[in-house]
Structure 1
Amino acid sequence: MSVRRLDHLRGRVMEGLAPSARTVSARRPLRSPRRWALSYSPTALAAFVAMFGLAFIAPLGSKGALLFLVAGMGLVATRLGDTLGALRREWLIVLVTLWCVMSFAWSDYTSLTMRHGLQLLLTVMIAVAIGYRVAPLTFIKIVFATSAMAGLASLLFGRDRSDGLGYLGIYASKNALADASSLLIIVALAVLVDRRLSARWRLPAVMGILLGGLLLVMGQSSGALVSTLVVVLFFGVLVLLQRLTPSMRLVAIVLTLVLAGAAGVMLSLISDQLARMFLDLTGKDITLTGRTDLWAIALAEIAERPMLGVGFQAFWVHGQPIAEQLWADFGITTRTGFHFHNTLISNAVEIGVVATAVQTLVFWGALLSCLGWAIRSPSAASVFFALFMARLFLLMWIEVVYFYQFSVATAIIIVAICYGHRFRPGKRPR
């Protein structure tokens, strides 16, 4: 048989086998049932428990603080060397915190100042550990989850004020509820704008905005309502800037500053009418419900001890003569939850002018860093920190917003400072 004949027969045999081979290859192998596996990061879990403790510290009290300390110090201890290195890099905020601790030496309430100062130091240490070990997007998810849980708890298990002038939720005051509600709105907006996040995050973010808005209105806090509205408008400006080229951003920012200056001059001409309108809308008197009287007393205290202050959290103390008189004058029967309604003035009373100036420098530096980060690299994290810091900047003139122990706001500010240093232009994140 010729070679050509053998090749022909071999081709016929292979042609006959081809359909069955295709049939075999077309059969899909049996797949095992899909298994759902729960994966988690111990670092993220510890950060979540810590922030959960702070978010629920109002109803849980010391148990919430204990949750924060156990989870947070566990985070610090697992990589102590890295945490100490991060604290060295954030030496300025650590220095101010140590000043608060050392103020026990000249405080009239030594043990109280030392205890609160050490609590602030632990809060700063844990927040720095979170800022250097938790990814920004993970931290935003944690803040959103804990804020949403606190919002739901306030709606389902909250209560009204005894005088009927506002809703308290799970908090001790309507201002605390308003701050938590505003935080929920801000973080939900940041999550909603990040297109990298899936619908399982963005849809709850819409619900978070509605829930936060509802609680904000129920709380009837005029300052929180106004500041949140301004922040939402600022959010629109950030979104617009993100869509422009770098050169157009610069032009837009310059034009905005010019227009803002012109608007400031025009508004100053009708300041009396605007002040009267604001007071009518908010129901406050010309002293802003006694704030101007408080400021006068605080400035007198600063004049007596301008460099050292009275000691960290050593003014609003039971038995302190001026504090007792102010509580009586303003009808604060609980003798708690009262302050000078101005961050710079209040902090200067406690720790002196120089330390307050350093605090302010740190805070404003973090504010500018977060704004630049949001414009340069928009994301859920950068937008959130920019909005959060902008809101605190608006409130610091009429409220006390930093730095104090076991506080969600203080923890977020410290984390913002860390992220601002880690994600500066041309610098690789640590």
Structure 2
Amino acid sequence: MRSLTYRGDGKLSVRWRTIEWWGAGICLLLQTGAFFPLLMAGPVGELSDAGKAKLRLVSLPVYAFTLLILSQNVRPFLIALARNVPLQLLTLLPLASVVWSVSPSTTLRRAIGLLFSILLAYVLAIRFTPRQLLLLLMIVIGVCIVASLGAVVALPSYARTPTDGTIRGVFLTKNTLGWYASVLALICGVIALDGSMGYRKTALALLVASLACLAGSTSMTAIIATTSAACVYVIYALLPKVRGVVRVVYVLVVIQTAVLILVVMHEYLVPLLTALGKDATLTGRVPLWELVDAEISRHLLLGFGFQAFWTEGNPLAWAIWNKVAWMPPHAHNGYRDILLSFGVGGFVLFCGVVMRAVHQGAVLQCREPQEGWLWLNVFLIMVLVMNLTESLFLNQNDCIATMFATAIIMFSVCAPVRADQIIRYSPVAEPDFAPPLSPATNESNP
């Protein structure tokens, strides 16, 4: 697809679709947290309050682009809203929690940031197909991973963590590098196995780079998530091939196996780590979770307000920080942080949104596997696994949280309303939803 065209007066003009591709890519790049935070923090890797305030300005172009694209796609945006009412309730809950928040100003500011992140997710969901989004993310995250490897050679004082020498690349922490290396490994693996998009060699090269960064970061969360993604990929790839009663049995076996693994991990993980000579506290997470669970039980109904607990103005947070002898910025568990923010009511709503998305994604994968739903399903599960030891749900101005919301929205937009009906990303069947770049023609050429 040509990005530049000549108008009738002989002057060059930029295609609107090119603006969408570049704008979406830059927005996601800014949300990864690459480059700017590390440059402002320096080799030490610690941001001051003034630095954090300046970083918020980086989000302003993202907000402007989001509002611009939505203003040009009002009807599909409204239809997408109508097809996912539970997500709208979950999006409004942070704003409502200002009323009972222990830090209303912090909750309001972060809730507004989350609202714009969800709006960007709507832009991605209604203007890109799953396969186009796969290519876009390969480019965006690929730039970060390649730059991280380059920084290890050219700027080792920035690219390595001062305390232990692990690789953090162009990110502020090694864990962040590990997360994005894990996501890129999934994306490149899917493209390499597919082969129909025409980028197999590029995907294989980036796959090697992502695995190198994953190993260099030593992030166990990312390593476990990558391993889980490989297993889930096989499960979803086989799902369309089994039908009828066999499919029901297959799904039940998968669910029972997943539950069994979780039970075994809960009961035997700590003794196993102790026997292997590893840190049985999961780098301090286990004692932290015990203290967090006690606070959750005291505010079980509504919580403390959206992302209000882990603030310096909350004495309960200071009590935990003093007991664990470090200052975690969150509970290192996305599920516990939702309980801290919204209580049981918000947690049940969140679980409903996720379970609905998992079901819709599986239905789309079974009925239209050629449309690229496989990777979105695997990515959704991957993020759920990551949040067992990290906190990535409902984060404002965060690429992974935005893509998590995008997957949920895409599933709801295209999921069949009736048993015999399904909405495709097709310019013929659904002109208001379909991107001008058809997946059947030139999807791999932005």
TM-score, with structure 1 as normaliser: 0.80
Give the letter aligned to residue 172 of structure 2.
Answer: A
Q: 1:329 to 1:273 in 2, by over 3 A?
A: closer
Equivalent residue in structure 1 for 2:108, among 105, 114, 132: 114
| Alpha-carbon distance between aligned partners in 2 of 1:127 and 1:259, rounded to the nearest angstrom | 30
Equivalent residue in structure 1 for 2:348, among 335, 349, 357: 357
List runs of 5+ in structure 1 lacking aligned partners: 1-36
Which residue of 2 is the match for residue 215 of structure 1?
Answer: 213
List runs of 5+ in structure 2 lacking aligned partners: 1-12, 38-54, 153-158, 425-432, 434-446
| Alpha-carbon distance between aligned partners in 1 of 2:118 and 2:392, rounded to the nearest angstrom | 15
| Alpha-carbon distance between aligned partners in 1 of 2:277 and 2:112, rounded to the nearest angstrom | 38
> Alignment partner of 2:162: what SS?
coil
Deviation, 1:362, is 0.7
> Which structure shows the bigger proportion of residues in helix conformation?
1
Is the contact between residue 191 and residue 202 of structure 1 (CA under 8 Å) also seen in structure 2? yes
Is the contact between residue 194 and residue 379 of structure 1 (CA under 8 Å) also seen in structure 2? no
| Alpha-carbon distance between aligned partners in 2 of 1:271 and 1:311, rounded to the nearest angstrom | 29
| Alpha-carbon distance between aligned partners in 1 of 2:60 and 2:298, rounded to the nearest angstrom | 37
Quote the sequence identity (%).
22
Which residue of 2 is the match for residue 284 of structure 1?
Answer: 279
| Alpha-carbon distance between aligned partners in 1 of 2:360 and 2:305, rounded to the nearest angstrom | 30
Matches within 5 A, 1:8-23: none
| Alpha-carbon distance between aligned partners in 2 of 1:252 and 1:206, rounded to the nearest angstrom | 32
| Alpha-carbon distance between aligned partners in 2 of 1:271 and 1:319, rounded to the nearest angstrom | 34
| Alpha-carbon distance between aligned partners in 2 of 1:365 and 1:357, rounded to the nearest angstrom | 12
Matches within 5 A, 1:78-227: 78-157=72-151, 159-164=159-164, 166-198=166-198, 201-227=199-225
Is the contact between residue 361 and residue 415 of structure 2 (CA under 8 Å) also seen in structure 1? no
| Residue 401 of structure 2 is aligned to residue 421 of structure 1 | no
| Alpha-carbon distance between aligned partners in 2 of 1:86 and 1:340, rounded to the nearest angstrom | 32
Equivalent residue in structure 1 for 2:29, among 47, 52, 56: 52
Equivalent residue in structure 2 for 1:73, among 67, 72, 78: 67
Q: 1:157 to 1:256 in 2, by over 3 A?
A: same
| Residue 289 of structure 2 is aligned to residue 304 of structure 1 | no
| Alpha-carbon distance between aligned partners in 1 of 2:401 and 2:320, rounded to the nearest angstrom | 26
Is the contact between residue 165 and residue 220 of structure 1 (CA under 8 Å) also seen in structure 2? no
> Alignment partner of 1:289: what SS?
coil
Larger radius of gyration: 1
Q: Deviations over 1:176-214 (max 9, x none)?
A: 11111111011112222334311xx22111112111111
Q: 1:310 to 1:128 in 2, by over 3 A?
A: same
Which residue of 1 is the match for residue 52 of structure 2?
Answer: none
Deviation, 1:395, is 2.6
CA RMSD of superposed structures (Å): 3.0
Is the contact between residue 75 and residue 126 of structure 1 (CA under 8 Å) also seen in structure 2? no
| Alpha-carbon distance between aligned partners in 2 of 1:413 and 1:347, rounded to the nearest angstrom | 15
Is the contact between residue 47 and residue 75 of structure 1 (CA under 8 Å) also seen in structure 2? no
Is the contact between residue 51 and residue 142 of structure 1 (CA under 8 Å) also seen in structure 2? no
Q: 1:235 to 1:269 in 2, by over 3 A?
A: closer
Give the letter aligned to residue 428 of structure 1.
Answer: I
Which residue of 1 is the match for residue 48 of structure 2?
Answer: none
Is the contact between residue 339 and residue 346 of structure 1 (CA under 8 Å) also seen in structure 2? yes
| Alpha-carbon distance between aligned partners in 2 of 1:327 and 1:59, rounded to the nearest angstrom | 28
